[in-house]
Structure 1
Amino acid sequence: MNKTRLEAFSDGVFAIIITIMVLEIKVPHGANWSDLEPLFPVFLSYVISFIYVGIYWGNHHHLLHTVKNVSSGIIWANLHLLFWLSLLPVTTGWLGENHQAPNTIVAYSLNLMLCGAAYTILIAVIRSCTPFSPAMEAAIRANNRKSIISTIGYLVGIGLAYVSPLCSEIIIFLVATTWLVPDKHIERALHQQQE
């Protein structure tokens, strides 16, 4: 398969995920500002999920630039990632409708943790199919450290969900902020390979 086709398919799935999430925000029936108030938790969960999808889209874009040949393993690992990401509209909607309910926070955190695990698997499959330069290996190691920290954050968030839902939601948001700026390590390593 052509790498461009893999990128185009993935980009389409990312766009559909965002579209489905925004459709969960229902238009209020009234015209007063107070009619927007019940939408705030739904909107907030949408914003956080939008940030997460954007983070995955940006990092996925950089990661696919490392691919020389698309193997069936890469296709399936990519589909595995897209599967878990495609469930984000469901967990996002459930979290927004049941703001600060422990079960919804746990489901959302688990979904994010499984997205992270799938992304790590995709990196491993690409790494096994594509010989990386020393600079790219260092970039992947730095990326893996952030993944471990994120997983710990999600686990702590899950543990706190039944004790302090607000603290759990703050941890989920803080994990997102660690990934907010796209990882420049891979970008720099790609630039060095092209020189």
Structure 2
Amino acid sequence: MEKETVRMEGFSDAIFAIAITLLVLDLHIPDKDALTSTTAIISYLKGQWPSYLAISISFFSIYIMWVNHHKLFKQIYVRNTGITFANGLILFLVTAVSYPTGLMARFFDTPSANLVVAIYTGLFVLINLSYNLLWYIASRDKTLLRPDITNDAIKKIKLNYLYGLPTYCLAFGLSFNYPTAALIICVVLWVFWALSSGRIHHNENLV
């Protein structure tokens, strides 16, 4: 079967690259006339730690999303209207990550930390739903998938993404009172996906 999704994958890769690049816009170089000593520069850099935190976890999250997007499209061989628009929804939400990242960079060390983390985790609830939607549309018609993919592999991928929804919802709920714990839960989930996607690859010979 000839793969029909090459252009879609290339376009998606470009969007992921742009989304990651946008993150660095939250790093600001101070005016050299405002900081006139080494001590002042060091103090300024230390004060930027929310930006370093926000950018680091967002870079990691987008990278993991790109890895899993790549693995999904190793299994999707034929595109239809549903797949095209579900993929577009993923790309739209991925490009939006830079906004709550910027909010966290500015407000994470303030009393508004719970609000900005709630916005951040809420976005990832939507991203997870969009990934589930893409795989649901693709997997309900097996003729759209790689010819030798097994039913067990299809189910494993489905469950892999379904795990994310209650986890992100938990992080969203906790963010209103425990914003740091909410972020830790998200990071743990991304690590799980990074490791589990490799196991699916190895065990099911999908890629």
CA gap of 1:53–1:182, structure 2 versus 1, over 3 A, is farther
Partner SS for 1:187: helix
Computing the radius of gyration from Cα coordinates, the structure with the larger value is 2
- Which position in structure 1 is the counterpart of 2:178? 164
- Pairwise CA RMSD: 2.4
How many angstroms does 1:190 deviate by? 7.0
- Paired with 1:159 and 1:127, the residues of 2 have a C-alpha distance of 30
- Which position in structure 2 is the counterpart of 1:147? 161
State yes or no: 1:45 paired with 2:49: no
Give the alignment partner of residue 119 of structure 2, picking from 107, 111, 115: 107
How many angstroms does 1:134 deviate by? 8.1
- Paired amino acid for 1:120: N
- Paired with 2:88 and 2:204, the residues of 1 have a C-alpha distance of 24
Partner SS for 1:65: helix
CA gap of 1:35–1:152, structure 2 versus 1, over 3 A, is same
Which runs of no fewer than 5 residues in structure 1 stay unpaired?
A: none
How many angstroms does 1:33 deviate by? 2.3
CA gap of 1:126–1:37, structure 2 versus 1, over 3 A, is same
- Paired with 2:154 and 2:142, the residues of 1 have a C-alpha distance of 13
- Paired amino acid for 1:20: L
Partner SS for 2:172: helix
How many angstroms does 1:120 deviate by? 0.8
* TM-score, reference length from structure 2: 0.82
How many angstroms does 1:47 deviate by? 0.9
- Which position in structure 2 is the counterpart of 1:4? 6
State yes or no: 1:57 paired with 2:66: yes
1:26-45 aligned at under 5 Å gives the runs 26-29=28-31, 30=35, 32-45=41-54
Which runs of no fewer than 5 residues in structure 2 stay unpaired?
A: none
How many angstroms does 1:46 deviate by? 0.9
Q: Identity across aligned pairs (percent)?
A: 25
CA gap of 1:151–1:105, structure 2 versus 1, over 3 A, is same
Deviations 1:103-132 (A, max 9, x none): 111111110111111011111112134435
CA gap of 1:184–1:54, structure 2 versus 1, over 3 A, is same
- Paired with 1:99 and 1:190, the residues of 2 have a C-alpha distance of 41
- Paired with 1:134 and 1:170, the residues of 2 have a C-alpha distance of 37
- Which position in structure 2 is the counterpart of 1:118? 130
May I ask how many residue pairs the two structures share in their alignment? 193
